[in-house]
A and B are shown apart, each in its own frame.
Chain A
Amino acid sequence: NAGVTQTPKFQVLKTGQSMTLQCAQDMNHNSMYWYRQDPGMGLRLIYYSASEGTTDKGEVPNGYNVSRLNKREFSLRLESAAPSQTSVYFCASRDNREQYFGPGTRLTVT
């Protein structure tokens, strides 16, 4: 049981490049989430998916798109990366009680 996995762990992009952050969970959870964490800002919700086939915007969705590929997988796409998207990105999934986080992706956009 791996819990929540994320790839890649680290990534450096140039401004304007695109990339997809991958997330998968093996706990059969319905709800999945993408957050970004910046110094002094705390965890901010980008998008979430309450169940397979649905996605909703969070607090900071601009510049991102998501896909809930199936119950296990929830990907985050940056179509045209900007330096303001330099951050640590966490994926999470949730059961009735607890939210479980992946190890994070450290993204730098130059």
Chain B
Amino acid sequence: RKEVEQDPGPFNVPEGATVAFNCTYSNSASQSFFWYRQDCRKEPKLLMSVYSSGNEDGRFTAQLNRASQYISLLIRDSKLSDSATYLCVVIPGQAGTALIFGKGTTLSVSS
């Protein structure tokens, strides 16, 4: 099992749609979790951290289920500008400070 696995995508949705991405991680001792966003031919940038209690930032909601080792990202009212690749990121408990990245899920929002 890969350390961090994401939905394969791509997700093609119309403007205004709600879309959810899922991610599973294999190391139960993992400490911290994030979603990063990467635009085409650009560097990844932090979208939001994921907290155990779940957290929301505008149209974006992140959830963590430690028992199932599962992370999700929900985007409501999709905008054209949300088109990007979304990377699930985990910091494993024992592996120093290196972050583990999923391969990413591509979202394309169309008008």
Contact = CB atoms under 8 A, between A and B. Distances in A.
B96 A56 contact: yes
B98 A102 contact: no
A74 interface: no
B87 A43 contact: yes
Interface residues of B, number: 17
Contacts of A33: 98-99
Interface of B: 34, 42-46, 49, 87, 89, 96-99, 101-104
Contacts, number: 41
Contacts of B43: 90, 101-104
Interface in A78-110: 90, 94, 97-99, 101-104
Interface in A36-52: 40-43, 45, 48, 50
